[in-house]
Amino acid sequence: MKKLTALVLSALLLFSLSIPAWGGGTLKVGTEAGFMPFEYVDEKTGELLGFDMDLIRAVGETLGLKVEIDNIHWDGLIPALLNKNYDAVIAGMTITEERAASVNFSEPYFESVLTIVIKDQDQGLIKGTEDLTGKIAAVQINTTGDFEATDLAEAGALKSVARFDTVPDSMQAVLVGAADVILVDLPVAKSYLAANPGAPLQHLGPITDNEFYGIAIHKQNPELLEQINSALKQLQADGTYDQIFDKWFGTE
């Protein structure tokens, strides 16, 4: 009888270790799909596509979990994670000290950097952060682009920051003349410019130190953090990561 109890208990323990705390056999993921090529909505099918989407689906497959992804507001992602609406958030989210105070981050899965997007007509006039005095910068609210622009504005190196819910909205603001430049992640600027070849915009290349994207997980779910990290390791070791990277960035 004792043996049986011990057996049942250890089986239960094993079972509870192998699944996320609140997702069951499903990995519920939040993203904000206005961030091509990391996450965007396929216009024809409505499907969520991008580097992050492939990566998290591969992570789910490795862990034997069904992956369900919701597309919500960027600003609502961390609150939703804290509220346990999701097991994980993948959204080209930079690992920052401030965010890491409220959520856990996986090992970095992508190295990125910020750029400035300018109007063609400002070519040669705006060459970097030192040329932004008196300018208005458009950003997606609460992104690293916002943090950088806010610092510049506070230092008097920028007139003001215009904050938008999405990256495409911030691009639009410059196109309609409501702002002068956009501060955004370089791979996203490149992808936007490639997808909108008619837009009279260009980017200035890297303007800051590199940053790293991580998958965010609730601090009370360290088991899932470990599982996701081991899945990322495996995907790097078995070539899946490289395959996904080449699919989205292979032409660079």
Residues 6+ apart with CB under 8 A from 20: 27, 65, 87, 221, 223, 224, 227
Q: Which is nearer to ligand ARG, 144 or 191 (by Cβ)?
A: 144
Residue 242, CB half-sphere, CA atoms under 13 Å: how many? Answer: 5
CB of 38 to ligand ARG, least distance (A): 6
Q: Which is nearer to ligand ARG, 21 or 113 (by Cβ)?
A: 113
Q: Which is nearer to ligand ARG, 11 or 100 (by Cβ)?
A: 100
CB of 56 to ligand ARG, least distance (A): 13
Helix residue spans in the chain (DSSP H): 2-18, 51-63, 77-82, 97-100, 144-154, 167-175, 186-195, 222-237, 240-249
Residues that bind ligand ARG (CB under 6 A): 32, 34-35, 39, 74, 91-94, 140, 143-144, 167, 185
Paired with 153 in beta bridges are none
CB of 213 to ligand ARG, least distance (A): 6
Q: Which is nearer to ligand ARG, 19 or 248 (by Cβ)?
A: 248
Q: Which is nearer to ligand ARG, 19 or 37 (by Cβ)?
A: 37
Map tokens 């000290």 to a residue. Answer: 97
CB of 116 to ligand ARG, least distance (A): 15
Retrieve residue 250's tokens.
Answer: 């292979």
128 closest CA partner among 151, 157, 103, 106: 157
Q: Which is nearer to ligand ARG, 19 or 163 (by Cβ)?
A: 163
- The CA distance from 78 to 92, in Å, is 13
CB of 34 to ligand ARG, least distance (A): 5
- DSSP letters of 170-187? HHHHHHTTS-SEEEEEHH
Distance of alpha carbon 213 from the chain centroid: 6
CB of 92 to ligand ARG, least distance (A): 4
